[in-house]
Amino acid sequence: MVDVEKIRKEFPGLEREFYGRRLVYLDNTATSQTPRRVVDAISDMYLNHKANVHRGVSTISQEATELQEETRRKITAWINASSIEEVIFTRGTTEGINAVASSFGERFKEGDEIILSEMEHHANIVPWQLLRARKGIVIKVIPLASDKSTLDMETYRRLFTERTVMVSVCHVSNVLGTINPVEEIISIAHSHGVPVLIDGAQAVPHMRIDVRKLDADFYVFSSHKMYGPCGVGILYGKKEHLESMPPYQGGGEMIEKVTFPHTTWASLPFKFEAGTPDFVGISALSAAIDFMEEIGMENIADHEEELLQYATEKLIAVPRLRILGEARHKSAVISFLLGNAHPYDTGMLLDKLGIAVRTGHHCAQPLMSALGIEGTVRASFAVYNTREEVDILVNSIKRVAPILD
């Protein structure tokens, strides 16, 4: 089981006080806190191993390269990719989706159709709209089912035509917490010969991901949501796809030979890594994976599931509180509204009581439209959160409710 007190010692930020109260950090969906070992790894890299990667004959450059590549090997094993060639470093989920839309999407023709879902983050909508403006593709949308929590899988099946060329959906909704049946989504798409991108930003920190078991064609995620540094992300892609795709950006590192008439590309994964990467952040991400693996992904999932159950039970008992997102398979994300109170007001008052939640549309405006609301208050949990913090949240909501509603 999870020794939360021991884990919390790695996060000095959790001891901070705001307005005379110890911080209750419940904005983990936006970004997680960072354990000391990750910050130590960043600092060690800057202080002792800073030399540009892949270019150097010097021992220090080779050292930096090795530290970066160690992370790539670790990620490859962690998500069960077939080889390091399938693991590309990006700036984050957003860049990963943009890279696929722009590069894989290059082959799409006017009238080709892609399928997204109504619960997508803007990061999995706008890159496809940019592609639509360039290529004239058609965007189709899987609607929410009548439970307003899960995807309407019947409609999904019916959206396929002979023009469908891509499906791109989130593994876990950052607003509803819904864990989508991505294995089924992928297998339906594959039965039509259609590849699938999975936005795993909200899944990877909370459950074990096996890209081969899922049979995902692309899987993207961000380091900063999984206890790692900011500015680093991963784009997993099946080798056969990556090999068939043109580079996303041009520059140093991604070439084999440059002449003015003609340039050839470096082999995978470097073809998609133009310029100097954030090798400091990438190497420190390794420590974040160690942190999670030491606890165990299954234990993290169990601990968060317990917090979710406990918090849900307590919150539904609060008068005039409405939870949005009641899927049976749900990650520890709770969006709610309190009577007629504006989410921003609720969030601001909770902040004055030392609780960090997020308010607003959560970069999912189409989902807000589907729910007929402008925004929610969102409390989201990580492995260092406790039942005591849930109690503080619930008591604080009860305290602010009469002022707001």
Shortest separation between residue 124's beta carbon and ligand PMP, angstroms: 6
- Pick the binder of ligand PMP from 45, 116, 123, 307 (CB under 6 A): 123
Q: 210 — phi, psi (to 5°)?
A: -125, 100
Q: How far is CA 87 from CA 59, 79, 201, 222, 328, in A?
A: 25, 10, 15, 13, 32
Amino acid residing at 157: R
Q: Is 230 a catalytic residue?
A: no
358 binding ligand PMP? (CB under 6 A): no
Shortest separation between residue 127's beta carbon and ligand PMP, angstroms: 11
Nearer to ligand PMP, 93 or 286 (CB): 93
Residue of 2, 51, 363, 370 marked active site? 363
Cα(198)–Cα(220) distance, rounded to whole angstroms? 7
- Pick the binder of ligand PMP from 32, 65, 98, 202 (CB under 6 A): 202
Cβ neighbours of residue 368 closer than 8 Å, sequence gap 6 or more: 361, 374, 375
222 binding ligand PMP? (CB under 6 A): yes
Shortest separation between residue 55's beta carbon and ligand PMP, angstroms: 27
Strands, DSSP E only, in 132-195?
A: 138-142, 164-170
Cα(166)–Cα(140) distance, rounded to whole angstroms? 10
Whether residue 392 contacts residue 165, with contact meaning beta carbons closer than 8 Å, is answered with: no
- Pick the binder of ligand PMP from 94, 164, 346, 359 (CB under 6 A): 94
Nearer to ligand PMP, 99 or 400 (CB): 99
SS3 199: strand
Interface segment toward ligand PMP; rule CB under 6 A; list 50-58, 62-70, 160-168, 197-205: 197-205
Cβ neighbours of residue 198 closer than 8 Å, sequence gap 6 or more: 168, 169, 170, 171, 182, 186, 214, 216, 218, 219, 220
92 binding ligand PMP? (CB under 6 A): yes
DSSP result, 78-96: HTT-S-GGGEEEESSHHHH
93 binding ligand PMP? (CB under 6 A): yes
118 binding ligand PMP? (CB under 6 A): no
Whether residue 201 contacts residue 225, with contact meaning beta carbons closer than 8 Å, is answered with: yes
Interface segment toward ligand PMP; rule CB under 6 A; list 128-136, 153-161, 199-207, 234-242: 199-207
Interface segment toward ligand PMP; rule CB under 6 A; list 120-128, 269-277, 309-317, 384-392: 120-128
125 binding ligand PMP? (CB under 6 A): no
Whether residue 81 contacts residue 87, with contact meaning beta carbons closer than 8 Å, is answered with: yes
H or E stretch at 131: helix 126-135
Interface segment toward ligand PMP; rule CB under 6 A; list 86-94, 304-312, 337-345, 396-404: 86-94
Q: Which residue from 364, 336, 363, 362 is spatially nearest to 350, judged by alpha carbons?
A: 336
Shortest separation between residue 93's beta carbon and ligand PMP, angstroms: 4
Shortest separation between residue 227's beta carbon and ligand PMP, angstroms: 13
Q: Which residue from 204, 243, 242, 241 is spatially nearest to 220, judged by alpha carbons?
A: 204
174 binding ligand PMP? (CB under 6 A): yes
Shortest separation between residue 94's beta carbon and ligand PMP, angstroms: 3
199 binding ligand PMP? (CB under 6 A): yes
Residue numbers annotated as active site: 363
Q: Please give the residue ranges that form the binding site for ligand PMP (CB under 6 A).
A: 30, 92-94, 121, 123-124, 170, 174, 199, 201-202, 222, 363
